[in-house]
Chain A
Amino acid sequence: MQDIKKATRESYGEALAKLGEENKNIVVLDADLSSATKTCEFAKKFPDRFFNMGIAEQDMMATAAGFATCDKIPYASTFAVFAMGRAYDQIRNSICYPNLNVKICATHAGLTVGEDGATHQMLEDIALARVLPNMKVICASDDIECKWAVQEISKIPGPVYLRLARAKTNIIYEEGQRFEIGKGIQIGEGKDATIIATGICVAEAIKAKEILENKGISIRVIDMHTIKPIDKNLIIKCAKETKNLFTVEDHSIIGGLGSAVCEVLADEYPIKVTRIGVKDTFGQSGTAEELLDYYKISAKYIVQEIENGKM
């Protein structure tokens, strides 16, 4: 992991502008947040293929569906709370049910939106997205992975929910790292416990791994960038090899990554799982770092949970 920090929304903006050059079928829609979601980078280069739909997320999602019926590849962006919250019926009925090729790229997901507070901190979007048939759910952990995801989802047909963050987080991967949709990335070979994390929490998990290993506890981290379809084989393998499983997400512990992991294990290899995330509550204003600490999702609290796990 590098000391350099960057927000995945920034990476999204850059990757999208690059993708626009390579694929003329890409169109981008935003709902008056292009300077925050960073779709403005695409808009500057390709004004004819950029559509600012105003503060009208429901209209934006269904318009994207219309583009997709005509073989365009729409990337529709707004904050996660307005995408998966405000426009849920449009996503369900006009995108997922007809299985249309719409890429919903939602920034500002999770607590790390920070100061805007609970109304803007989307903690339920992974849960809402992954119950929809046809939908794939991806949550990028750093700049390199985000840029890969933006490219890769243009190549697979059907709806995708790409979850991105506002806060700057450490760059984890080197250029040239290989990723595959539906395949988690194992970091380390630790035998005492597995921390399965997604999105901005991968960096926190890696920090926790370093702290714990200095204390003699060997840890492996799984970057579960694809939450649906989830990497069942890797989850079962880690459950068998390390016995102790922890999940970490900037999301409610109900319905998100933790639930998805538990579903796999309940079916295939039942063991105890400790879910670290927001515990059935709304957020509040604060800085991203303060909030991760307050809701006990930061590296410090991951370490605490694992130490309390009595391995």
Chain B
Amino acid sequence: MKITNKYAIEKIANDIRIGIIEEVYYGQSGHPGGSLSCADIMAVLYFNQMNIDPKRPSAPERDRFVLSKGHCSPALYSTLACKGYFDKKELQTFRKLGSRLQGHPDKNKLPGVDMTSGSLGQGLSVANGMALSSKLNHDGYRVYCLLGDGELEEGQVWEAAMSSNKYKLDNLCVIVDYNGLQIDGNIEEVKSLKHIYDKFKSFGFNVISIDGNNVEELIASFDLAKQIKQRPTVVIAKTTKGKGVSFMEGKAQWHGKSPNDEEYNIAMNELREKEHSILEMQKKDSEGGI
């Protein structure tokens, strides 16, 4: 069922964030920063855009999603749990021995994961293979691929970008989670991307730059991508790393660190307050108040 209400999607994004914090807290391991930054992207894709059914996770005609930045598995798992692929309680098994929720996504362990990932730079090539397969069979499904911005330092991404262009993959939509930080610090200092928009433009992409933490802008850009023919689309989604948890926002050290008890409680309180305010706004909106 497609959810269109802005506040309803914001509420889901917030639920995804709550799940992310649970995972990295109970696992005492994992990557909260880049997972939180892409929660809005995930909410829009899985609840507003993609043709998927949690009851039929292997349906041949479903849209595909490749999490190329595989270390942000907490975002994917939390999204799948929110969508009903499995019980949210299982999020607490993240990264534990025997869990289906591996440190990086394993397609053979968890239904709903379309591709195993973890080694950066490979997802766009995989997504191209899926998109080519869709075209070959005239299946019509779309393929979404989420890349990290630091991941763009991997050369294979640009090999793959040439392939997306060569095969005119208009059924492919790439999203760059442009949060500006990587493990060793600011992307501009580690290895500057310089003109990310122009880079993709010159590789033949339809490029859309948006605020990647704004659900309305995300919906509009994915809707627009569907109208573009003969070219792949990339959505450059400017986001805040650690979005939604005040002490994690914009801090590279929260790339791959788990919260302690105190930090967990602060984070959960903030997210519950946020949930409350979203519900308030939604209520006012439905009453015509804003």
Contact = CB atoms under 8 A, between A and B. Distances in A.
Interface residues of B, number: 35
Given A65-B126, A66-B128, A93 B163 contact: no
Contact of A59 (B60, B133, B134, B163): B163
Given A56-B159, A69-B129, A72-B136, A94 B122 contact: yes
Contacts of B132: 51, 63, 66-67
A258 B132 CA distance: 41
A250 to B, nearest CB: 30
Interface string A204-234: 0000000000000000000000000000000
Interface string B166-205: 1100000000000000000000000000000000000000
B204 to A, nearest CB: 14
B132 to A, nearest CB: 7
A66 B119 contact: no
A33 interface: no
Contacts, number: 112
B265 interface: no
B30 to A, nearest CB: 19
A62 B116 contact: no
A90 interface: yes
B108 A56 contact: no
Contacts of B64: 69
A63 B159 CA distance: 11
A66 B115 contact: yes
A99 interface: yes
A48 B116 contact: no
Contact of B129 (A66, A97, A98): A66
A67 B162 contact: no
Contacts of B209: none
A93 B64 CA distance: 19
A59 B127 CA distance: 11
Interface in B110-142: 114-119, 121-123, 125-134, 136-137
Interface string A94-127: 1001110000000000000000000000000000
Contacts of A68: 129
Most buried by A among B66, B119, B162: B119
B116 A59 contact: no
A72 B133 contact: yes
B21 interface: no
B160 A62 contact: yes
B134 to A, nearest CB: 7
A-B complex: 8 closest residue pairs judged by Cβ atoms = A66-B129, A62-B125, A70-B133, A59-B159, A56-B159, A66-B126, A98-B116, A63-B129
